[in-house]
Structure 1
């Protein structure tokens, strides 16, 4: 299994790329600047800057990364359901939301496992 900070870094890079691709594709397709397409990019930047803190086992930064990832998953689920259950059907945006959700679950899972392992290490250290 990869380290949590590595998974966080991969997920943040995926968010950066997806956001920039969505922004560029919207401009090339329609010809306008849709700045809401950059939302994954901003979340990706936040998570990317959290990577060093996660690697150094800073619990506060790890919790911020988990909170940001959870918020992004919830927003993406809402937007995915809004598009699929609404008139939009299944298109490019829905694929992006699905990618964000699956990557977020993968990242959040690794963060939760990391927090559990960290608590076990601290408990074992306190006993000895």
Structure 2
């Protein structure tokens, strides 16, 4: 899977599933509904709708997807560091944050490679 739109699609589905898992596991475990657990799901839905624009090589949508992914990675790193440095142990929240970070880095890397290839194509077209 080398195409940026494919990686974005997989990452967005992963975010949707992580958000739903976090929400329902807290509800089953504690009986409490914490809607902040759905934040990854909302990011995943937005990124899923960006997939078609990335596939059609729309640079604005590609940059929005990269910005949202970067924002989510930064938020997850902050939350993961709070969990590790705090009194709480390594639980489901930390695994979800780690999964989001790893998937986000994978997605950002593919988007950067996509932007580089796109610039090279445009430079080659202007030279001809």
Give TM-score, length-normalised by structure 1.
0.99
Taking the aligned partners of 1:92 and 1:115, their CA distance within structure 2 comes to 34
Q: Residues 74-93 of structure 1 correspond to what in structure 2 (within 5 A)? A: 74-93=74-93
Q: Residues 1-128 of structure 1 correspond to what in structure 2 (within 5 A)? A: 1-128=1-128
Give deviations 1:38-96, integer Å, cap 9, x for gaps.
00000000100000000000000000000000000000000000000011121110000
Taking the aligned partners of 1:33 and 1:65, their CA distance within structure 2 comes to 28
Task: Extract unaligned runs of 5+ from structure 2.
Answer: none
Q: Please tell me the root mean square deviation across aligned C-alpha atoms, in Å.
A: 0.6
Cα displacement (A) at 1:32: 1.0
Could you list the structure 1 runs, at least 4 aligned residues long, displaced by more than 4 angstroms after superposition.
none
Secondary structure in structure 2 of the residue aligned to 1:99 = helix
Task: Extract unaligned runs of 5+ from structure 1.
Answer: none
Taking the aligned partners of 2:29 and 2:90, their CA distance within structure 1 comes to 17
